[in-house]
Structure 1
Amino acid sequence: MPDNQTADVNLEELRALIAEELELPLEEVTDQADLKNDLDVDSLTAMEVAVQLEKKYRIKIDEEEIASLTTLEIIHQLVAAKVEKT
């Protein structure tokens, strides 16, 4: 499906959820900001973000997928793809 089908998962809502979980200002969570290198997200925090995503979007994120969640853009693509399957 084309990328515009990711509209089911609002990018700005996703940004707000991640910013809140990371306790960061919204503007720091840019589409391309690397969670590990730019935002100092460690593996435990990444797991906490994944749990919040699972709760909000009623999806399952596998442990190995958590490591691939490096930017908001990638998170958006993964969540949207999983939401589409439900």
Structure 2
Amino acid sequence: MSGNQTAGVDLEELRALIAEELELPVEEITDEADLKNDLAVDSLTAMEVAVQLEKKYRIKIDEGEITSLTSLATIHRIVSAKVETA
């Protein structure tokens, strides 16, 4: 795996996946947009996003970690770390 590619987790691909799951335009999923406060993501929807992340990246997101999925930047950091250790 090349050093300039963050564990194969492309930020724009991740943005598109989240936008699709939230049924929002991609441009609304900014790096720092707060999923709960800015995008009105509830706990059930956050869990659905986590399931899609698990499927796509073949990782495991613990139930307690779902509340940590607060922004695209945070999700990218968490998913990248999990992919690197998988």
TM-score by length of 2: 0.93
Segments of structure 1 that go 5 or more residues without pairing to the other structure are: none
Once the two structures are superposed, the pairs formed by residues 55-70 of structure 1 within 5 Å of their partners are 55-70=55-70
Q: Return the alpha-carbon distance in structure 2 between the equivalents of residues 16 and 43 of structure 1.
A: 20
Q: Partner of 1:32 in structure 2?
A: 32
In structure 2, the partner of 1:75 is 75
Q: Which runs of 5+ in 2 are unaligned?
A: none
C-alpha displacement at 1:5, in angstroms? 5.2
C-alpha contact 1:6 1:77 (8 A) present in aligned 2: no
User: Which is richer in helix?
Assistant: 1
1:7 deviates by 5.1
Per-residue CA deviations over 1:37-84 (Å, capped at 9, x if unaligned) read 000000000000000000000000001100011000000000000000
Question: What SS does the corresponding residue of 1:32 show, helix, strand or coil?
Answer: coil
Percent identical across equivalent pairs?
81
**TM-score w.r.t. length of structure 1:** 0.93
Q: Post-superposition, which runs of at least 4 consecutive aligned residues in structure 1 deviate over 6 A?
A: none
Pairwise CA RMSD = 1.4
Deviations 1:12-39 (A, max 9, x none): 0000000000000000000000000000
1:50 is matched with 50
Corresponding residue pairs, total: 84
Q: Which amino acid aligns with 1:17?
A: L
